[in-house]
Amino acid sequence: MITPNFPQAFSLTGEVVLITGGGTGLGLAMARAMHSAGARVVLLGRREPELQAAVEKLGTGASYVVHDVTDVDAAPALVQRVTAEAGPVSCLVNNAGIHLKKPAVDTTSAEFEQVMRTHVFGAHALTRAVVPSMMQRRHGSILFTGSMASLFGIPLVIAYTAAKSAMVGMVRGYATEFSPHGVRVNAIAPGWIETEMSRQALSGDPARKSKIISRTSMARLGATDDIGWAAVYLTSPAAKFVTGVILPIDGGASIGF
Residue-wise pLDDT for 146-196, tens only, equals: 999 999 999 999 999 999 999 999 999 999 999 999 999 999 999 999 987
* CATH code, 148: 3.40.50.720
Flag whether 51 is in a domain. yes
Residue-wise pLDDT for 77-101, tens only, equals: 999 999 999 999 999 999 999 989 9
| pLDDT value of residue 5 | 87
| pLDDT value of residue 2 | 61
174 catalytic per annotation: no
Residues 190, 228 contacting (CB under 8 angstroms): no
Average pLDDT, the chain: 95
Flag whether 115 is in a domain. no
- Which among 64, 160, 174, 233 is annotated as catalytic? 160
% of the chain with per-residue pLDDT over 70: 98
Closest CA to 31 of 126, 128, 96, 117: 96
* Domain with 197 in it: 11-96+126-154+165-245
Flag whether 72 is in a domain. yes
Flag whether 58 is in a domain. yes
How many domains, the chain?
1
Provide the whole-model pTM. Answer: 0.95
CB atoms within 10 A of CB 218: 13
What angle is formed at CA 187 by the lines to CA 30 and CA 35, rounded to 5 degrees?
20
Residue-wise pLDDT for 194-237, tens only, equals: 987 778 777 778 888 898 899 999 999 999 999 999 999 999 99
| pLDDT value of residue 109 | 97
CB atoms within 10 A of CB 94: 27
